[in-house]
Amino acid sequence: MALTPEDLQRIATRTLAHYDRSAQEFWEGTRDHDVSQNVQAFLRQIDTPPPFELLDLGCGPGRDLITFKALGHHASGLEGSPQLAAMARAHSGCEVVEQSFLALDLPKQYFDGVFGNAVLFHVPRQELPRVLRELHQTLKPGGVLFSSNPRGDGDEGWSGERYGCFHDWASWRGTMVAAGFAELDHYYRPTAVPFEQQAWLASVWRKPRN
C-alpha cells in the first residue's frame, strides 16, 4: 500500500524528533566510530583535482564534516534534525543546511561527491527513486555518490522511533542503476568477520559524464 503524504510527513517528523531528543547521546556514541574505510572508498573514486566540493548527506553532529575539512576539501552538510545540524555547525565550522528528504532543494551539478553514511536507509522505498534522482542532479558529471546502509531482506518499517528500509544488494543495485548511477564498488562491514555479522552494505557510484 502506498504511503500518503500524511504518512510520509509522520515518518519524517517522528524519526527526526528521535534524533533531536538524542542528539548529545548520538554524538557521544558515534564520534569515535572508525569510518575511514568508507571515507577512503569514497574519496579515491573522485577523479577531479582536489580540493573537492563535498556534501555530507545526513551529516548528523558533524564527525565526517570534520574529517573532510581536515583533509582540505570544501565540505558542507545537510541534516534534517535541527539539534544535530546546530551541533554539526559548531563542531565543524562548515555550512549545514536543514532539509528533510521530503523537500530537498539542492544546487544542480555542484558537488564532486555526496557522502551518504548511514542515512539513505531512512528514506521510504517509494520515495527513494526521487531522492536518488535529486542526488544525481546535484552531482557534477562524473561525480561520486557513496552510501552505507544496514543490510536486510527488504523489510521496511519502524525500529523503535526510527523508520528504516533494509535493502539487500540486488534490490539496492537495481534501484541505483535505475536512477542513472554506474557501479564502482561495494563491500560489507565490518571486515574480517563472518558474513552473518557484516551488518552494513557500502557502495560507491558514479554519475556518468554523458
DSSP letter, residue 122: G
Domain 5-206 has CATH 3.30.420.60: no
User: How long a stretch of residues is the chain?
Assistant: 210
Cβ pair 89, 78 in contact under 8 A: no
pLDDT tens sequence across 115-124: 999 999 999 9
Q: How far is CA 157 from CA 3, 122, 154, 161, 162, in A?
A: 11, 9, 10, 10, 8
Give the pLDDT of residue 210.
82
* Average pLDDT over every residue of 125-150: 98
Q: Report phi then psi at 98, rounded to 5.
A: -100, 110
- Name residues whose C-beta falls within 8 Å of residue 11's C-beta, 6 or more positions apart in sequence: 3, 124, 163
Cβ pair 77, 98 in contact under 8 A: no
pLDDT tens sequence across 22-75: 999 989 999 999 999 999 999 999 999 999 999 999 999 999 999 999 999 999
pLDDT of residue 99 exceeding 80, the answer is: yes
* Average pLDDT over every residue of 130-141: 98
CA angle 165, 171, 172 (to 5 degrees): 70
CB atoms within 10 A of CB 79: 28
Cβ pair 55, 114 in contact under 8 A: yes
pLDDT of residue 171 exceeding 90, the answer is: yes
CA distance 136 to 31: 29
pLDDT of residue 1 exceeding 80, the answer is: no
Q: Output the nine-digit C-alpha cell for 141.
A: 558529471
Residue recorded with cell 566510530: 33
Buried b (16+ CB within 10 A) or exposed e, 110-134: ebbbbbbbbbbbbbbeebbeebbee
pLDDT of residue 189 exceeding 90, the answer is: yes
Residue recorded with cell 542526488: 135
CA distance 9 to 163: 12
Give the pLDDT of residue 163.
97
Q: How far is CA 123 from CA 8, 24, 101, 104, 109, in A?
A: 10, 23, 7, 12, 22
Residue 106: which pLDDT band, with cuts at 50, 70 and 90?
very high
